[in-house]
Every structure is written in C-alpha cells, then in structure tokens.
Amino acid sequence: MELADTKLQPFEPERYRDVSLNDLVMYAVYVLAEMKNEINTEEIVAACFLLFPARFHLRGYPHWPDSTVVNKRWLDCRDRGYITGSTAHGFSTRVRA
C-alpha cells in the first residue's frame, strides 16, 4: 500500500499545538505501522506532514513538508528506544516491556 493511496486526514491544529514533536512523530509511525510492516523515512515525513501540517511544514512554504524537523525527531525517538531502524533498513516501533 502506498501512503499516497491512504486517506490520512489532518488533525485540527489546536488539537496538537501543545503536543511534543516526538509524540507526534511517534503517532505517525504508529499509524504507518498499522498499515504496513516496513516503514521508510519518506513515509514518516509524509505522514507527519499529512497528519500535522501546522507543525511539520517548511517555514515560509506551508504546503511543503520539512523533512529536517522530522529527521531530527525520529533520530531522537530512536535514541530513546521508542523506534528501531535506519534510513537504509526502514523503521518499526519498539514495544517496551
């Protein structure tokens, strides 16, 4: 399934205005994980932008995603052990015991 074929609907900005970027990225990864087994970096960027455009748009260009912001956040989430993977091998969620 291609992400472009999904019907991810954006949340209203006031619903996620005060939610941390890490939490928003983790939600996007969770949604992707529910749709498919392997998740790539581009899909994380696209999902973050589609779900939360007010927080993940390119400054000055609100109709374009900012991959730098998303990349920093998934790196932080990976370093904290919330997700596993890399750009070369794809990503998955990590369930903590």
Strand partners, 84: 92
Q: Are 6 and 65 in contact (CB under 8 A)?
A: no
Distances (CA, A) of 57 to 11, 50, 75, 76, 88: 14, 10, 18, 19, 24
Domains (ranges, CATH) in the chain? 8-93 (1.10.10)
What is the pTM for the complete model shown? 0.88
Q: What is the pLDDT of residue 70?
A: 97
Distances (CA, A) of 36 to 2, 46, 57: 9, 15, 24
Q: What is the pLDDT of residue 36?
A: 80
pLDDT per residue as tens digits for the range 72-85: 999 999 999 999 98
Please identify every stretch of the chain with a pLDDT value under 50, giving residue numbers as ranges: 96-97
Strand partners, 58: 61
What type of residue sits at position 54?
A
Judged by DSSP in three states, 47 sits in: helix
